[in-house]
Amino acid sequence: MHNFLPIAYYKSHFIPFADANLSIATHALHYGTGAFGGMRGIPDPQNPRQILLFRFDRHCQRLSGSARLLHFDLPADKIQQVITDFVKKNSPTTSFYIRPFVYTSDLGISPRLHNVEKDFFVYGLELGDYLSPEGVSCRISSWYRQEDRSLPLRGKISGAYITSSLAKTEAVESGFDEAILMNSQGKVSEASGMNIFIVRNGRVITPSFDQDILEGITRDSVLTVAWDMGIPVEERAVDKSELFVADEVFLSGTAARVTPVSRIENYKYSSDRPITNALRDQFTAITENRDPKYKDWVYAVSLDS
Protein backbone atom coordinates (compact mmCIF):
# COMPACT_ATOMS: atom_id res chain seq x y z
CA MET A 1 0.00 0.00 0.00
CA HIS A 2 1.49 3.32 -1.11
CA ASN A 3 0.96 6.66 0.59
CA PHE A 4 0.85 9.04 -2.34
CA LEU A 5 1.48 12.74 -1.91
CA PRO A 6 -1.85 14.62 -2.16
CA ILE A 7 -1.00 16.95 -5.07
CA ALA A 8 0.12 15.96 -8.58
CA TYR A 9 1.16 17.99 -11.62
CA TYR A 10 -0.94 16.96 -14.60
CA LYS A 11 -1.75 18.70 -17.89
CA SER A 12 0.12 21.83 -16.78
CA HIS A 13 -1.82 22.21 -13.53
CA PHE A 14 -1.47 21.17 -9.92
CA ILE A 15 -4.48 19.07 -8.99
CA PRO A 16 -5.40 16.43 -6.37
CA PHE A 17 -3.53 13.19 -7.05
CA ALA A 18 -6.83 11.28 -7.14
CA ASP A 19 -8.02 13.42 -10.06
CA ALA A 20 -4.95 12.88 -12.25
CA ASN A 21 -6.27 10.14 -14.49
CA LEU A 22 -5.30 8.96 -17.99
CA SER A 23 -7.53 7.65 -20.75
CA ILE A 24 -7.33 3.92 -21.50
CA ALA A 25 -6.56 4.95 -25.10
CA THR A 26 -3.39 6.87 -24.16
CA HIS A 27 -0.68 6.16 -26.75
CA ALA A 28 2.13 5.60 -24.20
CA LEU A 29 0.09 2.99 -22.32
CA HIS A 30 0.02 0.79 -25.41
CA TYR A 31 3.51 1.32 -26.82
CA GLY A 32 5.77 2.14 -23.87
CA THR A 33 6.52 5.52 -25.44
CA GLY A 34 7.27 7.26 -22.18
CA ALA A 35 10.29 8.03 -20.06
CA PHE A 36 10.56 8.60 -16.36
CA GLY A 37 12.82 9.96 -13.71
CA GLY A 38 13.04 9.28 -10.01
CA MET A 39 14.47 11.32 -7.21
CA ARG A 40 14.41 11.21 -3.45
CA GLY A 41 13.58 14.01 -1.09
CA ILE A 42 13.93 14.25 2.68
CA PRO A 43 13.06 16.91 5.24
CA ASP A 44 16.29 18.62 6.27
CA PRO A 45 17.29 17.11 9.65
CA GLN A 46 18.53 20.57 10.66
CA ASN A 47 15.52 22.48 9.34
CA PRO A 48 12.16 20.71 8.92
CA ARG A 49 10.83 23.63 6.82
CA GLN A 50 13.35 22.75 4.15
CA ILE A 51 13.36 19.78 1.78
CA LEU A 52 16.62 18.32 0.45
CA LEU A 53 16.77 16.84 -3.06
CA PHE A 54 19.83 14.83 -4.05
CA ARG A 55 21.55 15.77 -7.34
CA PHE A 56 18.41 17.51 -8.51
CA ASP A 57 20.05 19.16 -11.52
CA ARG A 58 21.44 15.87 -12.86
CA HIS A 59 18.07 14.17 -12.55
CA CYS A 60 16.35 16.97 -14.45
CA GLN A 61 19.03 16.92 -17.15
CA ARG A 62 18.69 13.16 -17.59
CA LEU A 63 14.90 13.35 -17.90
CA SER A 64 15.23 16.15 -20.45
CA GLY A 65 17.60 13.92 -22.43
CA SER A 66 15.16 11.00 -22.19
CA ALA A 67 12.39 13.28 -23.49
CA ARG A 68 14.59 14.19 -26.45
CA LEU A 69 14.76 10.49 -27.39
CA LEU A 70 10.95 10.64 -27.62
CA HIS A 71 11.17 13.73 -29.88
CA PHE A 72 9.90 15.92 -27.05
CA ASP A 73 11.60 19.21 -26.23
CA LEU A 74 11.32 19.53 -22.45
CA PRO A 75 14.06 21.77 -21.00
CA ALA A 76 15.71 20.73 -17.74
CA ASP A 77 14.95 24.11 -16.15
CA LYS A 78 11.23 23.61 -16.86
CA ILE A 79 11.33 20.23 -15.11
CA GLN A 80 13.22 21.74 -12.20
CA GLN A 81 10.71 24.55 -11.72
CA VAL A 82 7.70 22.22 -11.84
CA ILE A 83 9.22 19.83 -9.32
CA THR A 84 10.23 22.67 -6.99
CA ASP A 85 6.63 23.93 -7.01
CA PHE A 86 5.39 20.35 -6.59
CA VAL A 87 7.48 19.91 -3.43
CA LYS A 88 6.28 23.23 -1.98
CA LYS A 89 2.62 22.40 -2.60
CA ASN A 90 2.90 18.96 -0.97
CA SER A 91 5.19 20.00 1.92
CA PRO A 92 6.22 16.40 2.75
CA THR A 93 7.09 15.61 6.35
CA THR A 94 8.87 12.31 5.76
CA SER A 95 11.22 10.70 3.24
CA PHE A 96 9.59 10.58 -0.18
CA TYR A 97 10.11 9.74 -3.83
CA ILE A 98 9.27 11.90 -6.85
CA ARG A 99 8.25 10.32 -10.15
CA PRO A 100 8.27 12.72 -13.15
CA PHE A 101 7.07 11.14 -16.39
CA VAL A 102 7.11 12.29 -20.02
CA TYR A 103 4.92 10.43 -22.47
CA THR A 104 2.99 10.42 -25.72
CA SER A 105 -0.38 11.63 -24.51
CA ASP A 106 -2.35 11.32 -27.77
CA LEU A 107 -5.25 8.88 -28.01
CA GLY A 108 -4.25 6.73 -30.96
CA ILE A 109 -3.19 3.32 -32.20
CA SER A 110 -0.23 3.98 -34.49
CA PRO A 111 3.22 3.34 -32.92
CA ARG A 112 5.22 6.46 -33.74
CA LEU A 113 6.94 9.47 -32.22
CA HIS A 114 6.17 12.01 -34.96
CA ASN A 115 2.87 13.89 -35.20
CA VAL A 116 1.77 12.73 -31.77
CA GLU A 117 1.12 14.87 -28.71
CA LYS A 118 3.42 14.63 -25.71
CA ASP A 119 2.98 15.72 -22.11
CA PHE A 120 4.62 15.64 -18.69
CA PHE A 121 3.30 14.83 -15.23
CA VAL A 122 4.71 14.50 -11.71
CA TYR A 123 3.51 12.62 -8.66
CA GLY A 124 5.15 11.38 -5.48
CA LEU A 125 4.85 8.94 -2.61
CA GLU A 126 6.31 8.38 0.81
CA LEU A 127 9.27 6.00 0.62
CA GLY A 128 11.62 4.59 3.23
CA ASP A 129 13.89 1.63 2.43
CA TYR A 130 13.17 0.22 -1.03
CA LEU A 131 15.32 -2.86 -0.33
CA SER A 132 16.43 -4.31 3.00
CA PRO A 133 19.44 -2.40 4.37
CA GLU A 134 20.60 -5.68 5.94
CA GLY A 135 21.30 -7.16 2.53
CA VAL A 136 19.39 -8.78 -0.34
CA SER A 137 19.60 -12.13 -2.09
CA CYS A 138 19.96 -12.18 -5.89
CA ARG A 139 19.71 -14.68 -8.68
CA ILE A 140 21.14 -14.53 -12.18
CA SER A 141 18.16 -13.85 -14.40
CA SER A 142 17.29 -15.97 -17.41
CA TRP A 143 16.35 -12.70 -19.10
CA TYR A 144 19.07 -10.60 -20.73
CA ARG A 145 19.52 -6.85 -20.66
CA GLN A 146 18.56 -5.20 -23.96
CA GLU A 147 21.20 -3.79 -26.27
CA ASP A 148 21.57 -0.10 -27.06
CA ARG A 149 21.30 -0.90 -30.77
CA SER A 150 17.68 -1.97 -30.20
CA LEU A 151 16.64 0.41 -27.41
CA PRO A 152 18.04 3.82 -26.36
CA LEU A 153 19.44 2.68 -23.02
CA ARG A 154 20.86 6.13 -22.19
CA GLY A 155 17.30 7.15 -21.31
CA LYS A 156 14.85 5.68 -18.81
CA ILE A 157 12.38 4.63 -21.50
CA SER A 158 9.31 3.06 -19.90
CA GLY A 159 8.91 0.30 -22.48
CA ALA A 160 12.38 -1.03 -21.68
CA TYR A 161 11.29 -1.96 -18.17
CA ILE A 162 9.35 -5.03 -19.28
CA THR A 163 12.67 -6.89 -19.03
CA SER A 164 13.23 -5.56 -15.52
CA SER A 165 9.70 -6.60 -14.55
CA LEU A 166 10.15 -10.11 -15.90
CA ALA A 167 13.50 -10.49 -14.16
CA LYS A 168 12.27 -9.13 -10.82
CA THR A 169 9.21 -11.39 -10.73
CA GLU A 170 11.28 -14.41 -11.77
CA ALA A 171 13.67 -13.69 -8.90
CA VAL A 172 11.00 -13.18 -6.25
CA GLU A 173 8.94 -16.19 -7.33
CA SER A 174 12.04 -18.38 -7.09
CA GLY A 175 12.85 -17.23 -3.55
CA PHE A 176 15.19 -14.28 -4.10
CA ASP A 177 14.84 -10.56 -3.52
CA GLU A 178 16.40 -9.21 -6.69
CA ALA A 179 17.66 -10.18 -10.14
CA ILE A 180 20.99 -9.61 -11.87
CA LEU A 181 20.83 -9.34 -15.64
CA MET A 182 23.64 -10.28 -17.99
CA ASN A 183 24.09 -8.53 -21.32
CA SER A 184 24.06 -10.18 -24.74
CA GLN A 185 27.83 -10.77 -24.48
CA GLY A 186 27.41 -12.77 -21.28
CA LYS A 187 28.85 -10.05 -19.05
CA VAL A 188 27.25 -8.62 -15.92
CA SER A 189 25.06 -5.61 -16.74
CA GLU A 190 22.83 -4.47 -13.85
CA ALA A 191 20.01 -5.43 -11.50
CA SER A 192 16.32 -4.97 -12.31
CA GLY A 193 16.41 -1.27 -11.50
CA MET A 194 19.83 -0.70 -9.95
CA ASN A 195 23.48 -0.61 -10.95
CA ILE A 196 25.76 -3.25 -9.45
CA PHE A 197 29.21 -3.03 -7.85
CA ILE A 198 31.66 -5.64 -6.63
CA VAL A 199 34.57 -5.19 -4.23
CA ARG A 200 37.72 -7.23 -4.82
CA ASN A 201 41.01 -6.77 -3.00
CA GLY A 202 40.04 -3.31 -1.81
CA ARG A 203 38.94 -2.09 -5.26
CA VAL A 204 35.42 -0.99 -6.21
CA ILE A 205 34.49 -2.38 -9.64
CA THR A 206 31.36 -1.76 -11.69
CA PRO A 207 30.27 -2.53 -15.28
CA SER A 208 31.22 0.27 -17.70
CA PHE A 209 28.84 2.17 -19.98
CA ASP A 210 29.55 -0.18 -22.90
CA GLN A 211 27.93 -3.04 -20.94
CA ASP A 212 24.41 -1.79 -21.74
CA ILE A 213 23.84 -0.26 -18.32
CA LEU A 214 21.81 2.77 -17.37
CA GLU A 215 24.01 5.78 -16.66
CA GLY A 216 22.97 5.84 -13.02
CA ILE A 217 23.26 9.08 -11.07
CA THR A 218 23.73 7.23 -7.79
CA ARG A 219 26.32 5.04 -9.56
CA ASP A 220 28.24 8.15 -10.59
CA SER A 221 27.98 9.49 -7.03
CA VAL A 222 29.32 6.25 -5.52
CA LEU A 223 32.29 6.24 -7.89
CA THR A 224 33.11 9.86 -7.05
CA VAL A 225 32.80 9.31 -3.30
CA ALA A 226 34.91 6.13 -3.42
CA TRP A 227 37.66 7.92 -5.33
CA ASP A 228 37.57 10.83 -2.88
CA MET A 229 37.86 8.35 0.01
CA GLY A 230 41.01 6.89 -1.53
CA ILE A 231 39.35 3.66 -2.67
CA PRO A 232 40.54 2.54 -6.13
CA VAL A 233 37.71 2.29 -8.67
CA GLU A 234 37.39 0.48 -11.99
CA GLU A 235 34.73 0.69 -14.70
CA ARG A 236 35.00 -2.34 -16.98
CA ALA A 237 33.37 -5.56 -18.10
CA VAL A 238 32.59 -7.92 -15.22
CA ASP A 239 32.38 -11.69 -15.66
CA LYS A 240 29.69 -13.72 -13.92
CA SER A 241 32.31 -15.72 -12.03
CA GLU A 242 33.68 -12.49 -10.53
CA LEU A 243 30.40 -12.09 -8.67
CA PHE A 244 31.06 -15.34 -6.84
CA VAL A 245 34.65 -14.57 -5.84
CA ALA A 246 34.00 -10.94 -4.83
CA ASP A 247 34.60 -9.85 -1.24
CA GLU A 248 31.52 -7.63 -1.27
CA VAL A 249 28.68 -6.87 -3.68
CA PHE A 250 26.23 -3.99 -3.51
CA LEU A 251 23.55 -2.30 -5.57
CA SER A 252 22.97 1.40 -6.12
CA GLY A 253 20.04 3.47 -7.30
CA THR A 254 17.79 6.36 -6.36
CA ALA A 255 15.29 4.11 -4.60
CA ALA A 256 17.81 1.50 -3.40
CA ARG A 257 20.50 4.05 -2.43
CA VAL A 258 23.44 1.78 -1.44
CA THR A 259 22.14 -1.72 -0.66
CA PRO A 260 24.43 -4.64 0.23
CA VAL A 261 24.00 -8.04 -1.39
CA SER A 262 24.09 -10.93 1.06
CA ARG A 263 23.86 -13.79 -1.44
CA ILE A 264 23.92 -14.47 -5.19
CA GLU A 265 22.50 -17.88 -6.09
CA ASN A 266 24.12 -20.21 -3.51
CA TYR A 267 27.19 -18.00 -2.93
CA LYS A 268 27.01 -16.12 0.37
CA TYR A 269 28.97 -13.02 1.37
CA SER A 270 30.32 -12.03 4.74
CA SER A 271 28.19 -9.69 6.83
CA ASP A 272 31.43 -7.76 7.41
CA ARG A 273 31.27 -5.23 4.56
CA PRO A 274 33.79 -2.50 5.37
CA ILE A 275 33.80 -0.76 1.99
CA THR A 276 30.06 -1.05 1.34
CA ASN A 277 29.29 0.26 4.82
CA ALA A 278 31.76 3.12 4.53
CA LEU A 279 30.29 4.20 1.21
CA ARG A 280 26.73 3.88 2.49
CA ASP A 281 27.49 5.95 5.60
CA GLN A 282 29.17 8.64 3.54
CA PHE A 283 26.33 8.64 1.02
CA THR A 284 23.80 9.11 3.83
CA ALA A 285 25.78 12.01 5.26
CA ILE A 286 25.89 13.68 1.85
CA THR A 287 22.14 13.33 1.19
CA GLU A 288 21.46 14.82 4.64
CA ASN A 289 23.68 17.78 3.74
CA ARG A 290 26.18 16.96 6.51
CA ASP A 291 29.27 17.05 4.29
CA PRO A 292 30.19 20.52 3.01
CA LYS A 293 32.44 19.01 0.32
CA TYR A 294 29.37 17.80 -1.57
CA LYS A 295 27.08 20.72 -0.82
CA ASP A 296 26.54 21.30 -4.55
CA TRP A 297 24.91 17.86 -4.78
CA VAL A 298 22.09 18.83 -2.43
CA TYR A 299 19.33 21.20 -3.56
CA ALA A 300 17.29 22.77 -0.76
CA VAL A 301 13.63 23.72 -1.33
CA SER A 302 12.33 26.14 1.28
CA LEU A 303 8.70 25.51 2.22
CA ASP A 304 8.39 29.05 3.55
CA SER A 305 9.24 30.87 0.32
Given 126, 153, 183, the domain boundary residue is 126
Residue 131: pLDDT band (50, 70, 90) is confident
Whether 296 maps to a domain, the answer reads no
> Does the structure show a pLDDT above 80 at 33?
yes
Whether 144 maps to a domain, the answer reads yes
Given 60, 93, 126, the domain boundary residue is 126
pLDDT of res. 22: 96
- Same domain for 206 and 119, yes or no, is no
Read off the pLDDT of residues 205-214 as tens digits, 9 standing for 90 and up.
Answer: 999 999 999 9
- Same domain for 116 and 140, yes or no, is no
- Same domain for 112 and 178, yes or no, is no
CB under 8 Å to 214, separation ≥6 — which residues? 153, 154, 156, 190, 195
Please list the alpha-helical segments (H only) found in 9-75: 27-31, 56-69
Residue 11: pLDDT band (50, 70, 90) is very high
Contact 145, 190 (CB under 8 A): yes
Mean pLDDT of 267-292: 96
- Same domain for 81 and 158, yes or no, is no
CB under 8 Å to 81, separation ≥6 — which residues? none
Please list the alpha-helical segments (H only) found in 238-289: 240-245, 274-287
Range of the domain at 79: 7-126
Mean pLDDT for all residues in the chain: 96
What CATH number does the domain containing 49 carry?
A: 3.30.470.10
Three-state secondary structure call for residue 242? helix
Whether 300 maps to a domain, the answer reads no
> Does the structure show a pLDDT above 90 at 130?
no
pLDDT of res. 129: 87
CB under 8 Å to 291, separation ≥6 — which residues? 282, 285
> Does the structure show a pLDDT above 90 at 272?
yes
Whether 71 maps to a domain, the answer reads yes
What CATH number does the domain containing 208 carry?
A: 3.20.10.10
Which of 150, 231, 153 lies closest to 190, judged by CA? 153
- Same domain for 230 and 250, yes or no, is yes
Whether 1 maps to a domain, the answer reads no
Domains: count for the chain: 2
Whether 302 maps to a domain, the answer reads no
- Same domain for 119 and 20, yes or no, is yes
Rg (CA), the chain: 19
- Same domain for 143 and 278, yes or no, is yes
Whether 265 maps to a domain, the answer reads yes
- Same domain for 150 and 245, yes or no, is yes
Whether 157 maps to a domain, the answer reads yes
- Same domain for 282 and 165, yes or no, is yes
